[in-house]
A and B are shown apart, each in its own frame.
Chain A
């Protein structure tokens, strides 16, 4: 899939999933994104980390809302009001609201995940407009530092452990953190030198194989733009009201224009 088409598709999914609190649209967008991931992901990509991240995020959203939110008619049990934060009635509606918030987070994560799991990083940088290319490369390089530091941390810790180091309080961690910081600085300097030696910033970015647009990519972009337009119009016109489980549970109201907006990104499932 063309990276630019994928960016527009992700944007459409985000707009639909996050513009309302309706769980129907969120579920549709999340499942469409999941199917796109399963169809288009690169063969070397394992989705295990993504699913664990989503599960962790969803669990956090549910627990946080149930513990802190004490609104709703269906009281499961109650803790004394004098207890800070957790005190008060624990309600079924809070659980449902937490699940809905978790569904929104999951949909948002799934809809941007193809940018990492479907296209190569250099394709993503190529997809940026010319004025944003350099900034995009710098941001991508900075983000690459995070997993690099993680790897460096594990290596240094293992090496120190083999030399007899054992964690004893906060100060003992300096023997690991200082080498990690020095390694990160050294790695950054090496990256800068490598980029400079490859004439970074001397002119427009060149590419070996320019990205191609297929008819299917164009269809995805058109459908995504239509989805964004429909969703924004439906919200502005008041046709897609929010849904909340408070004070009591009700079935969410589904608006036909918003439903179509949520279903349009499904064209990307086909390969």
Chain B
């Protein structure tokens, strides 16, 4: 067993002990050891991937790798987020679909009026800048961030969230007697607060004592963030920390701020449309037969 793996286990145990001692969060809270998982899985280099959908919902992932650099497409592939690309000759590949948005796209990737996935890059924790090359040519190094935002072509705006990967810090020392805040409900929360996650995303060290149990137990794994990353819009009110995937070494943090898809559903309209098509086809066939020479009047 390597040193990194041992460190990972020790970190998890230490952090679990802190939170369990607080009497608020059971072992599920180990999700907040994700930076360690990210670091230990495949390499010591990290690139953050920020995917911001048209409805405002955002996924932030930290992809770990061992090489000196990766292309933007490799980052996408390693993140596990579904994506589709189309080759644009000299510009190489453009991103047409990410995480199921849009549900379909033309062979040219987008039309003159449709929204599209704009590609941004932030170097070494800096500000977002529009990428000048396709996703398959974009080279990212340790500490960089790759941003994808689904938006109208007329208004290319960078993602409103920064995706700096968490800084690997020494295991926080357990506080002997942390003072937990009282919870409105007796049910324990199933995750740590995103305030810690946001801090980590912003590159600061989370404070164990600041971990507050969430009052919202109805949505497992979700809580209200108290400290948003720089540039975070006020509409982002929740954060969702899912389990880390050790195989890819990614930290997945999803902030939800968008609205539900209003266009989903309405299969009955499709059935009506198909029925209308069938009726019109039958009518046309009947008229064609009745107008043939020799057909009975």
Contacts and interface: CB of A to CB of B under 8 A. Distances in A.
Given A38-B287, A256-B269, A246 B107 contact: yes
A38 B107 contact: no
A65 B106 CA distance: 11
For chain B, give the interface size range.
20 to 34
Interface centre among B104, B267, B280 (most CB of A within 10 A): B104
A24 B277 contact: yes
B114 interface: yes
A252 B269 CA distance: 10
A246 B276 contact: no
Given A38-B288, A94-B107, A255 B266 contact: yes
Given A32-B280, A35-B284, A242-B111, A259 B263 contact: no
B273 A24 contact: yes
A251 B270 contact: yes
B150 to A, nearest CB: 13
B288 A259 contact: no
Contacts of A38: 284, 287-288, 291
B27 interface: no
Nearest to B271: A254
Interface residues of A, number: 37
Contacts of A250: 103-104
Max count, chain B CB within 10 A of own CB: residue among A35, A69, A239: A35
A167 interface: no
B280 A24 contact: no
A241 interface: yes
A246 B106 contact: yes
B266 A253 contact: yes
B104 A35 contact: no
A146 to B, nearest CB: 29
Interface centre among A28, A94, A247 (most CB of B within 10 A): A247
Interface string A222-261: 0000000000000000110111111100111111100100
Nearest to B290: A38
Contact of B287 (A24, A35, A94, A252): A35
B274 A35 contact: no
Contacts of A28: 273, 276-277, 280
Nearest to B111: A242
Contact of B270 (A245, A252, A263, A266): A252
Contacts of A252: 270
A156 interface: no
Contacts of A251: 267, 270
B104 A245 contact: yes
B274 to A, nearest CB: 7
B278 to A, nearest CB: 9
A97 B283 CA distance: 27
B134 to A, nearest CB: 15
A250 to B, nearest CB: 6
A245 B272 CA distance: 21
Interface string B279-294: 0110110011001000
Interface of A: 21, 24-25, 27-28, 31-32, 34-35, 38-39, 65, 69, 71, 94, 97, 238-239, 241-247, 250-256, 259, 262-263, 266, 269
- List the 9 shortest-distance A-B pairs measured between CB atoms, nearest first: A31-B280, A244-B104, A254-B269, A24-B273, A38-B287, A254-B270, A247-B84, A69-B107, A254-B273
16 contacts: A28-B273, A31-B281, A35-B283, A35-B284, A38-B291, A71-B86, A71-B107, A243-B104, A244-B107, A246-B106, A251-B270, A253-B266, A254-B270, A256-B266, A259-B269, A259-B273
